């Protein structure tokens, strides 16, 4: 059977695959997206939907490995590493720990800030031009502290953000309480990231998928990628549960699943799934006016006209698909300590998703050495929504031969010898 052919075959229909597909269609290419479920059924579905240049500083800072070791002892800690032996996980953790030094973290922060800020400029434009309604609001993101010591501990990062040109202003407790009447009294202080924004992520992916189809692209749902046919240095066709597909170029945007599928092409991808949880409810009353980060328990609160979500936590436990009650309860407990009405009356969804965590906290975007017609767009970790529009722009430039706005070498998978 002859494989169905397109200019670009996109593997994975999450926010990254769909954003890239749309940008490529807009440059006149024919595009087909394959996903084993419905588009947007992975990490792109139930995340917190915040657009956060404020998160430019990576986790690879000095002291993080010790913090993680300490947290390993608590199953409800914001970051949990399952201590069970798993060669892939431990190799990744070792590589991550080796990168926890200030000089590297400063370089990483510059590279992350560049793609976050470019996306911050592009995404609102894309939403208007494509007519995508996803409750986008440039309302800022407020970090709330109930312990003055933890705010003092974050001052170094606040100055670091200023050096990167990212807005962050420190507020007194009474100022924070006046801004957000939904908070319980006793706030020690806050940091307002005025340039951050928010949207409803499931509506974003629905809108992207709709526009991909309207622009002539095809989306093959319920199509699980099983393997590849290759000749020499070329990927000729992708074998799936629904037949074979091929593309002049193949773009792998499989999020946390990338290492599993890329292994079939002899590629070792330095990504581990970083599991996070969210709880979606109806809006409580009073409801926060903007996205909040409850700093000590690391709980993110996002409120839209259509609902309300508590999310976050980071768990390294491999490809474990269970919904961990302890970690869901930690979200509820965190919210109870900060908010007058922490939960909405109607529970709509309890969810988990795998963030594609790259060992150096920079996404992998661009061609690989081993295969002439394969590109990656993956490894966006905690920031896939925030980095999506600039990732799509970069991929479109690399595929069409245009001059990228971003420094493409900084994101190239070849930095890992891939
Ligand atoms: C709790 C939580 C909160 C978060 N909050 C934010 C936030 O506020 N802001 C932000 O920017 N980011 C946030 N993130 C991160 C963000 O969700 C991810 O970075 C982003 O969704 C990754 O997108 P993706 O397209 O790479 O991956 P995914 O959305 O996971 O897409 C990968 C796709 O590949 C498909 N696939 C996998 N295997 C196969 C196969 N064999 N065949 C075919 N298809 C396959 C999957 O079905 C899936 O649709 C959060 C994540 C979590 C878990």
pLDDT higher than 60, residue 393? yes
Pocket test for ligand 1, best of 112, 323, 355, 365 (most atoms within 8 A of CB): 355
Mean pLDDT over residues 104-118, rounded?
Answer: 97
Kindly report the pTM of this predicted structure: 0.97
Look at residue 67 in the predicted model and tell me its pLDDT: 78
pLDDT class of 395 with cuts at 50, 70, 90:
very high
Provide the mean pLDDT of the chain: 95
Do the beta carbons of residue 72 and residue 43 sit within 8 Å?
Answer: no
> 205 CA distance to ligand 1 centroid (A)?
11
For atom 3 of ligand 1, the residue with the nearest CA is 47
- Give the pLDDT score at 336: 97
Q: What percent of the chain has pLDDT over 70?
A: 98
Structure tokens at 289: 């006016």
Q: How far is CA 143 from CA 47, 63, 170, 181, 290, in A?
A: 18, 22, 9, 15, 10
Ligand 1 pocket check for 55: Cβ under 6 Å: no
**Ligand 1, atom 22, residue with closest C-alpha:** 384
Per mean pLDDT, which range of 40-54, 272-286, 309-323, 348-362 is the poorest?
309-323
35 Cα to the center of ligand 1, angstroms: 12
- pLDDT of 96 above 60: yes
What's the pLDDT score for residue 63?
86
Question: Span 332-352, mean pLDDT?
Answer: 97
15 lines ligand 1 (CB under 6 A): yes
**pLDDT, tens digit, for every residue of 262-271?**
999 999 999 9
Q: Which atom of ligand 1 is nearest to the CA of 274?
A: 53
pLDDT score at 221: 98
Q: What is the best residue among 46, 255, 352 to mutate for testing ligand 1's pocket, by most ligand atoms within 8 Å of CB? A: 255
CB neighbour burial string for 124-152, b if at least 16 within 10 angstroms, e if fewer: bebbeebebebbbbebbbbbbbbeeeebe
Residue 278 near residue 43, CB atoms below 8 Å: no
Burial of 356 (0-12, 13-18, 19+ CB in 10 A): buried
Class of residue 326 by CB neighbours under 10 A (exposed 0-12, middle 13-18, buried 19+) = exposed
User: How much distance in Å is there from the Cα of 109 to the middle of ligand 1?
Assistant: 22
Residue 282 has what pLDDT? 98
Q: How far does the centroid of ligand 1 lie from the alpha carbon of residue 237, in Å?
A: 24
CA 238 to chain centroid, in Å, comes to 26
Q: Which atom of ligand 1 is nearest to the CA of 377?
A: 26
Q: State which ligand 1 atom lies nearest to the alpha carbon of 387.
A: 11
Q: Tell me if 361 CB under 6 Å of ligand 1.
A: no
Please write the tens of the pLDDT for every residue from 283-328. Answer: 999 999 999 999 999 999 999 999 999 999 899 999 999 998 988 9
Report which of residues 379 and 66 the model is more confident about: 379
Residues whose CB is less than 8 angstroms from the CB of residue 124 and which lie 6 or more positions away in sequence, other chains included: 136, 138, 197
Report the distance separating Cα 145 and Cα 187, nearest Å.
Answer: 6
Residue 385, pLDDT above cutoff 60: yes
CA 15/CA 89 separation, integer angstroms: 25
Does ligand 1 come within 6 angstroms of the Cβ of 16?
Answer: yes
Task: Tell me the average pLDDT across 219-239.
Answer: 98
In this model, does residue 1 exceed pLDDT 60? no
**Residue 300 Cα distances to 169, 224, 294, 309, 391, angstroms:** 19, 32, 6, 8, 24
Q: Assign 242 a pLDDT band (cuts: 50, 70, 90).
A: very high
Ligand 1 mean position, distance from CA 170 (Å): 32
Q: What mean pLDDT comes out for the span 223-228?
A: 98
Residues of the chain with pLDDT > 90, as a percent, come to 90
pLDDT tens figures, 212-225: 999 999 999 999 99
Does residue 69 surpass a pLDDT of 80? no
Ligand 1 centroid, distance to 292 Cα (angstroms): 22
Helix, strand, coil percentages, rounded to 5, for the chain = 35, 30, 35
Cα angle, residue 35 at apex, residues 50 and 270 outer, rounded to 5°: 65
CA–centroid distance, residue 40 to ligand 1 (Å): 8
Q: Provide CB contacts within 8 A for 278, sequence distance 6+.
A: 46, 47, 48, 309, 310, 311, 312, 331, 349, 350, 351, 352, 353
CA 118/CA 17 separation, integer angstroms: 18
CA dihedral 237, 270, 315, 159 (to 10 degrees): -120
Q: pLDDT tens digits, residue range 373-382?
A: 999 999 999 9
Residue 409 pLDDT greater than 60, yes or no: yes
Mapped onto helix, strand or coil, the DSSP state of residue 111 is helix
> How many residues make up the chain in this entry?
418
CB 359 within 8 Å of CB 366: no
Ligand 1 center to 18 CA (angstroms): 11
Alpha-carbon distance of 44 to 16, in angstroms, equals: 9
Ligand 1 within 6 A of CB of 78: no
Specify whether the CB–CB gap between 234 and 373 falls below 8 A.
Answer: yes
Please state the rounded mean pLDDT for residues 21-39: 98
Q: Identify which of 285, 374, 304, 296 has the alpha carbon closest to the alpha carbon of residue 335.
A: 296
């Amino acid at each position: 059977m002859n494989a169905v052919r397109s200019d670009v075959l996109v593997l994975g229909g999450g926010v990254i695959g769909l954003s890239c597909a749309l940008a490529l269609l807009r440059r006149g290419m024919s595009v087909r997206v394959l996903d084993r479920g419905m588009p947007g059924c992975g990490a792109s579905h139930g995340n917190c939907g915040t657009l956060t240049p404020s998160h430019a500083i990576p986790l690879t800072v000095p002291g993080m490995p010790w913090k993680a070791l300490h947290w390993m002892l608590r199953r409800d800690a914001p970051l949990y590493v399952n201590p069970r032996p798993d060669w892939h996980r431990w190799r990744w953790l070792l590589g991550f720990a080796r990168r926890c030094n200030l000089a590297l973290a400063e370089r990483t922060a510059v590279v992350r800030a560049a793609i976050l800020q470019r996306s911050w400029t592009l995404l609102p434009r894309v939403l208007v031009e494509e007519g995508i309604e996803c409750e986008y609001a440039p309302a800022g993101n407020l970090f709330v502290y109930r312990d003055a010591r933890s705010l003092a501990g974050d001052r170094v990062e606040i100055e670091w953000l200023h050096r990167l040109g990212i807005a962050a202003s420190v507020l007194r407790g009474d100022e924070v309480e006046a801004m957000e009447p939904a908070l319980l009294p006793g706030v020690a202080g806050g940091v307002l990231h005025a340039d951050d924004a928010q949207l409803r992520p499931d509506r974003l992916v629905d809108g992207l998928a709709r526009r991909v189809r309207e622009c002539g692209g095809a989306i093959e749902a319920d199509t699980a990628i099983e393997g590849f046919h290759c000749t020499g240095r070329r990927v000729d066709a992708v074998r799936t549960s629904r037949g074979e597909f091929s593309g002049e170029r193949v773009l792998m945007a499989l999020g946390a699943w990338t290492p599993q599928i890329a292994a079939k092409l002899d590629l070792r991808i330095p990504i581990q799934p970083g599991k996070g949880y969210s709880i979606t409810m109806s809006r409580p009353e009073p409801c926060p006016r903007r996205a909040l980060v409850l700093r000590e328990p690391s709980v993110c609160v996002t409120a839209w006209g259509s609902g309300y979500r508590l999310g976050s936590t980071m768990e390294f436990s491999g490809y474990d698909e269970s919904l961990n009650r302890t970690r869901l309860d930690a979200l509820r407990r965190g919210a109870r300590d900060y908010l007058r009405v922490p939960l909405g009356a109607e529970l709509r969804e309890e969810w988990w998703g795998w963030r594609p965590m790259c060992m150096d906290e920079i996404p992998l975007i661009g061609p690989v050495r081993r295969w002439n017609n394969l590109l990656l767009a993956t490894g966006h970790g905690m920031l896939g929504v925030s980095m999506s529009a600039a990732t799509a722009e970069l991929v479109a430039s690399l595929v069409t031969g245009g001059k990228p706005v971003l420094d493409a070498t900084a994101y190239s998978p070849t930095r890992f010898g891939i």
